[in-house]
Structure 1
């Protein structure tokens, strides 16, 4: 279907990268520009409590933001990883989405401020995110979370990190995860030849050139690109993973790899649901949620999937 008018308005105000031109910004400049692409509303969804704290990580403390719903715990836990190509982004731009999911699903949301490249290249982000999952499993009582009911999720590079956390949980002794929520996840490489990278390379908010730039900063060297803990589509075996909900946008270079990953999960015997949001662009779930009314349907879908995964059903 055609681009949603709200998505077109976002594209129109976003500086375009000229066709065939590489991204040449330094990471700090890119981070500053990134902060101008999203808006936090004055009125935010209500939750019982929001608290910034830090947890132990493999290279020092990891900042996290913990959202607690109304009611009596312990609550299921949803560990969330923000997007930004492993290079930009923070806890702040997912404030609206995290509050919404917390309230609608009745879960403790733990949003993780993992280390960023190029200062901290692969596997820093993946290590921090899995450390956060294990911390929730071992210390859930400290945040009113049930260590036996944990899901992971993220958008874009955060979706990549959620998929990696699920792989690590299977391979490295747990914890057992109830669900992985992968929103527009990075699971393959721009050079893999998928049609969405060709069809939406420029002019649709997230460009192929930007993704290529991220891939010059996150891996330590080209051999990392063969590692499924960097690119989960490189994994030979996807059996035994947590069930997945994969959400994607029609006009997104990353669309096809998310759908391909879900198909491979199903082939491996893992339940995987795919939802494609027609007319939308990258960032619809968290970054641009307050500007794209269709995001509400995506938030509701995630909340329903979490309640179902944790045994609560729909409500």
Structure 2
């Protein structure tokens, strides 16, 4: 992976290098991502970047499945619409390739007792001897749609790449269960995992978080809640295009207002169905960049897609975390869209992102100790260059 430091980042690095006191395994962490590639403009309005051929093939297949705009549907109707995962399967079929999921040693469906009743979880165990490290994975879907089946590919890939047991959790969804129901359920999943990791063949001292989209938002909130409640801290948090900012007028929202598979009208619909009251978008559990205190959190890996209204929010969160002394690694993948992470079967950049997540998790598990407020200081600020289009 090439490294292209931002000039400002180099200045910050020089200023902070003499005071950084991270463990040697944190010395290579990176800070806020490079600025997005310049967008073309029509007048003053930036236009959406072009998808690379592999990503475009998935988007074309998704369009062929004939789904209706989510924002025109009820939540019940929206949950029945074809998903990007369906598009990947259809694309594989059209190419004459097998559609069997990535293999792991064992998959088990269970439930745990959540605040509002039993919550479905799916446990993925890779090949190898235990006790293994453990990852709590939280799927996306705007807190309204999707489930463990929709997001089956990502936890499989993480289990193999991180060499860890992955517990994928569901949660109550809006509008039937409004904010903070989903947040409460996922925090409860983490607390349950702390108590039960050993029973799953895992190492209860080596637990990390991974979340996609709305799941990335909730993974970050769990890390904050663990700090504030005095729970065992996760060793690492991988936030994949997380919902991180209430603002919907950012550069990435302007560029990708009509993007697929996620756009501004859909985000407004998700907010309406989960939050109920639009004013609740300002709650720092939703707008992570407005958290008053981000210090003392575990190191973070933030994975972003260029063609995604959430990209700017993820970049801003990275800046806020790094300013608070949290080691942050950021990688933006150009030419791909929101939801690309689980598309490793057909999109090469998804495989790259999965391998990055796995490598960062393995590094954290090997280090075996979470960052703390007492030891956390700003990391040297270098920047990972965005992965370019094919």
TM-score, length-scaled by structure 2: 0.75
Q: Secondary structure at the match of 2:195?
A: helix
1:34-53 to structure 2, matched below 5 A, reads 34-35=82-83, 38=86, 39-40=88-89, 42-53=99-110
How big is each residue's C-alpha offset from its partner over 1:55-93, in whole Å with a ceiling of 9 and x where there is no partner? 111111111000112222111111001111100011112
**Number of the residue aligned with 1:136:** 193
Q: Secondary structure at the match of 2:175?
A: coil
- Aligned partner of 2:74 among 20, 26, 43: 26
What is the CA–CA distance in structure 2 between the aligned matches of 1:34 and 1:23, rounded to whole Å?
14
Cross-structure match for 1:306: 361
SS at match of 1:285: helix
Alpha-carbon offset, residue 223 of structure 1: 4.0
Report the Cα distance in structure 1 between the residues aligned to 2:58 and 2:127, rounded to whole angstroms.
34
Question: Relative to 1, partners in 2 of residues 1:237 and 1:155: Cα closer, same or farther, differing over 3 Å?
Answer: same
Give the Å deviation of 1:190.
4.3
1:188-238 per-position Cα deviation (integer Å, ceiling 9, x unaligned): 1243x3100001111342111101110101114244223212221220111
Alignment of 1:176-191 (within 5 A): 176-191=233-248
- Greater shift, 175-184 or 228-237, is seen at 228-237
What is the CA–CA distance in structure 1 between the aligned matches of 2:259 and 2:153, rounded to whole Å?
26
Distance 1:114 1:26 in 2: 19
Is the counterpart of residue 102 in structure 1 residue 159 in structure 2? yes
Describe the SS at the equivalent of 2:107.
strand
**Alpha carbons 1:190, 1:212 under 8 Å: kept:** no
- 2:262 maps to what in 1? 206
Q: Which has the higher contact order (CA 8 A, sep 6+)?
A: 2
Give 2:375's aligned residue: none
* 1:155-170 pair list within 5 angstroms: 155-170=212-227
User: Quick one: distance in 2 between partners of 1:203 and 1:222?
Assistant: 22
SS at structure 2 position matched to 1:291:
coil
Partners of 2:178 and 2:320 in 1: CA distance: 28
In the alignment, the residues of structure 2 paired with residue 290 and residue 227 of structure 1 have an alpha-carbon distance, to the nearest angstrom, of 37
How far residue 284 of structure 1 moved from its aligned partner, in angstroms, is 0.6
> Residues 163 and 180 of structure 1 are in contact (CA less than 8 Å); yes or no, is this contact kept in structure 2?
yes
Aligned with residue 78 of structure 1, among 125, 131, 135: 135
User: Which consecutive aligned stretches of 4+ in structure 1 deviate over 6 angstroms post-superposition?
Assistant: none
Over aligned residue pairs, what C-alpha RMSD do you find?
2.0
Does the residue aligned with 1:137 lie in a helix, a strand or coil? helix
| Distance across 2 between alignment mates of 1:174 and 1:281 | 35
> Aligned ranges for residues 251-270 of structure 1 at < 5 Å?
251-270=307-326
The answer on whether the counterparts of 2:139 and 2:211 sit within 8 Å (CA) in structure 1 is yes
Q: 2: distance between equivalents of 1:210 and 1:4?
A: 23
Q: Where do 5+ consecutive residues of structure 2 fail to align?
A: 1-36, 38-49, 90-97, 369-390
* SS state at 1:94 partner: coil
Distance 1:137 1:36 in 2: 32
How far off is 1:104 after superposition? Answer: 2.2
Q: 1:172 to 1:224 in 2, by over 3 A?
A: farther
Aligned residues of 1:122 and 1:230 also touching (Cα < 8 A)? no
Shift, 1:141, TM fit: 1.4
1:8 aligns with 56
Structure 1 position 22, deviation (Å): 8.9
SS in 2 for 1:294: helix
CA contact 2:252–2:310 (8 Å) conserved in 1: yes
SS at match of 1:165: helix
| Cα distance between partner residues in 2 of 1:142 and 1:77 | 12
Please list the CA deviations of residues 122-162 of structure 1 after superposition, one character each: whole Å capped at 9, or x if unmatched: 11110110111111111111111111111111111111111
Q: Is the 8 A contact 2:197 2:204 kept in 1?
A: yes
Partner of 2:94: none
Separation in 1 of the partners of 2:185 and 2:303?
24
Give the Cα–Cα distance (whole angstroms) in 1 for the partners of residues 341 and 220 of structure 2.
17
State the partner residue of 2:345. 290
Residues 46-61 of structure 1 mapped to structure 2, 5 A cutoff: 46-61=103-118
Match of 1:80, SS state, is strand
